[in-house]
Structure 1
Amino acid sequence: MIGIDIVNNKRIERAINKYKSKFLEKIYTKSEIEYCLSKKSYIECLSARFAAKEACIKAIYQHCFIKLKMKQIEIIGKKDEGVTVKIYSKDLDLSSLEIMVSISHEKDCSVAIALITKNN
């Protein structure tokens, strides 16, 4: 299963400016917020994680018809390293599956793709 998402970075910036921590705490885990806010380009970092979460939601829904919330997905990764995805859901057993995610961002947009495969 595969999922993809693209986000205009200004959209995330507007949401942060309007809703402040309420938006951040609804969408992101504590560690995601801490990591991204430590970056100079924190809007792009948050946008890329937003896109990655949406891509995961789409791929997981195609796989098992369960729609996760954004906060149930944690995107862990540092620049120039691979991305790891943690899922927090009692209703979903992904032990036999692997979720691979690739994210990228530029000044205006962030994009992510998620691919679910079976573990060997």
Structure 2
Amino acid sequence: MKEFNIKRHYSTKHAKLHSLTGQLRTEKIQKLTANLEKQQQMFHKQRAQLDDVEKASFILSSKLAKALKPFAEGEFIKECMLEVFCILCPEKKNEFEKISLSRRTVVRRIEIIANDIKEH
């Protein structure tokens, strides 16, 4: 990056921060940094939840395949899980609804697992 471009950006976009000095500037920078970290944590938390949902889907799909059950039973298992979790922990019901166990998804998951086994 060219120094001129950085100076121009800083003076046009961050003029208010440039006018602050001393303790006020330090506090403002810390506040902005804290806000950025909060936003990043929110995305990390959502991503972790999605990873957990996908992992659960893979586990259930592999269990169906190992038991030689029809792939359509994934939807039946999901219905049973939702009813049980509505009773045991209703606050987590939304997370369990996200788990995809449709016939097509189970087949795709099993294909991925099979390809990984072939590669190893």
**Superposition TM-score, scaled by structure 2 size:** 0.27
Larger RCO (CA under 8 A, 6+ residues apart): 1
**Superposition TM-score, scaled by structure 1 size:** 0.27
* Structure with greater helix percent: 2
Larger Rg: 2
* Structure with greater strand percent: 1
